Homo-oligomer: A and B are copies of this chain.
Amino acid sequence: MPVNLNVPAAESLFPVAGLDMGYAMAHIRKPNRKDVLVVRIAEGSSVSGVFTTNRFCAAPVQVCQANLKVGKGIRALVVNTGCANAGTGERGLADARATTAKVAELLSVQPEQVLVFSTGVILENLPMDRLLPGIEQAVAGLGQANWLDAATSIMTTDTLPKASSRKLAVGSGEITITGVSKGAGMIRPNMATMLGYLATDATIAQPVLDRWTTAMADASFNRITIDGDTSTNDSFVVIATGQSKAVNIQTGQEPEAAQVFEALKAESIKLAQAIVRDGEGATKFITIQVEQAGTEEEALKVAYAIGHSPLVKTAFFASDPNLGRILAAVGYAGIDDLEQTRIQLYLGDVYVAQNGGRHPDYREEQGQAVMNDAEITVRVQLGRGSASTMVWTTDFSHEYVTINADYRS
């Protein structure tokens, strides 16, 4: 059961002018599920992407990075689930290129103008005999799919489709921002997650969109973790079609720029948090705030040490305020000159550890009361400086083990 997350209503997801979508049931891995998505992008759109830093990055990630570098203007995305096309060597690259070539041929664009994404099992080859007909079917249906179909077409172990949408009154009119994401396991993005797509009809010049995309990923997809496993296929793509004439952002210094950026960032955070809320086996949504760090990197080390600790995560699953486990994680986070006597720990509003020891007024019942909530904030102060960060994660349940012991079967 996802934590405070529901299937979005189709009508709540506003179309973004300049994009057409189509899907197919191609039986890539399992029958009768939407598993291929094609998105056609109007000419003149800006498209930016950030990708996994996993050195075993998948063939489609390598092709995406190469095609974005070519810079001919991206005109289409194609996504399949069921097979990640990772750990597939030269054949995987050839399959990814054949996929872009097929889409390009059908849409009369060039292969370098197509981005390709795969998600699913690693170390298996793409079933091209089923994928290519699936692409034909998806292209034939272009324009008939909506954003809810798109969100559904990219699901793997997700229990529900994830999407977010809003309109923003800005400049001389309004713009639309709509996005989808997927992912529930192998989640500790390190540039972006597998997969996030965010689109707007605002006009945003390519260099601005590139900068913003990185900043948005850092504030959203790069701040979540479920199991600490950085995927081979993480990708986050932002599209600005420029079909709305409400704003025209060319430098990022325009008066409306900050408003647009903040709105895009807020939607990115919602999409990233949706992945955590639907984390494999999740029963809790946990916010880890680390404050008074010497640097942001230091704050992140501590936040991830807490967020990845199986002992901390199983204690959250049990709603057990076994909070010493959090201090242990702080201690092994890799800050060599950390002074334990300067550490403060709060669970929600409860002051648990003062100067590295149990707070004299702390009572177990107080910790228990916070632990019983579905949404919990852990706050650690390091007493080293003024840097801070925030990371979102889940607990670790029996269901996580069940899902990942059975995922391929």
Interface positions of A (Cβ within 8 A of B) = 53-57, 84, 86-92, 121-125, 185-186, 188, 190, 227-232, 308-311, 314-315, 317-318, 320, 322-325, 327-333, 335-336, 338-341, 343, 352-358, 396-398, 400-402, 404-409
Which of B325, B396, B406 is the one whose CB lies under 8 Å from A401?
B396
Looking across the interface, which residue of chain B has its beta carbon closest to that of A312? B229
7 contacts between A and B (CB under 8 A): A54-B331, A55-B330, A124-B324, A190-B332, A229-B311, A310-B310, A318-B405
A398 to B125, CA, bound (A): 31
A401 touches B405 (CB 8 A): no
Q: Which of B54, B84, B232, B409 contacts A320 (CB 8 A)?
A: B409
Partner of A328, one of B122, B323, B327, B396: B122
Tell me if B122 and A320 are in contact (CB < 8 A): no
- The CA-CA distance from A294 to B227 in the complex, in Å, is 28
Contact (Cβ within 8 A) B356 A320: no
In the complex the two chains form, what is the Cα distance from A231 to B331 in whole Å?
Answer: 9
Chain B's nearest CB lies how many Å from the CB of A58? 9
Q: Within the complex, what minimum Cβ distance (angstroms) separates A4 from chain B?
A: 22
- Report B-chain residues with C-beta under 8 Å of the C-beta of A331: 54-57, 230, 232
CB distance from A319 to the nearest CB of B (A): 9
Copies per complex of this chain = 2
Our pick among B87, B322, B340 for the contact of A324 (Cβ within 8 Å) is B87
B357 touches A90 (CB 8 A): yes
A56–B328 touching, CB < 8 Å = yes
Given contacts A227-B311, A314-B405, contact A86 B53 (CB under 8 A): no
A409 to B321, CA, bound (A): 11
Shortest A304–chain B CB gap in Å is: 11
A358 touching B229 in the complex, CB below 8 Å, given contacts A56-B327, A314-B404, A331-B56: no
Q: A356 near B87 (CB under 8 angstroms)?
A: yes
Smallest CB gap from A362: residue in B = B123
State whether B328 touches A358 (Cβ < 8 A): no
Distance between A293 CB and nearest chain B CB, rounded to angstroms? 14
Contact B87 A332 (CB under 8 A): no
Chain B residues positioned under 8 Å from A317 (CB to CB): 401, 405
Q: How far is the CB of A184 from chain B (nearest CB, A)?
A: 12
* Closest Cβ–Cβ distance, residue A225 to chain B (whole Å): 11
Q: In the complex the two chains form, what is the Cα distance from A308 to B90 in whole Å?
A: 29
**B314 lies within 8 A of A55 (CB):** no
Question: Which residues of chain B are near A323, meaning CB under 8 Å?
Answer: 123
**Contact A86 B328, CB 8 Å, known A229-B309, A398-B401, A407-B322:** yes
Chain B neighbourhood of A330, CB < 8 A: 55-56
With A86-B328, A328-B122, A331-B54 as contacts: A397 and B404 at CB distance below 8 Å: no
Tell me which residues across on chain B come within 8 A of A338, comparing CB atoms: 55-56
Say whether B401 contacts A55, CB under 8 Å.
Answer: no
A317 to B330, CA, bound (A): 29
CB distance from A25 to the nearest CB of B (A): 24
> Which residue of the partner chain, among B123, B328, B358, contacts A231 with CB atoms under 8 Å?
B328
Q: Least Cβ distance of A26 to chain B in Å?
A: 21
Q: How far apart sit A86 and B397, CA to CA, in the bound complex (Å)?
A: 26
Chain B residues whose C-beta falls within 8 Å of the C-beta of A352 in the assembled complex: 123
B324 touches A122 (CB 8 A): yes
Q: For the complex formed, measure the closest distance between the CB of A360 and the CB atoms of chain B, giving whole angstroms.
A: 9
Contacts of A92 in B (CB 8 A): 357
Q: List chain B residues, Cβ under 8 A from A400.
A: 310, 314, 401
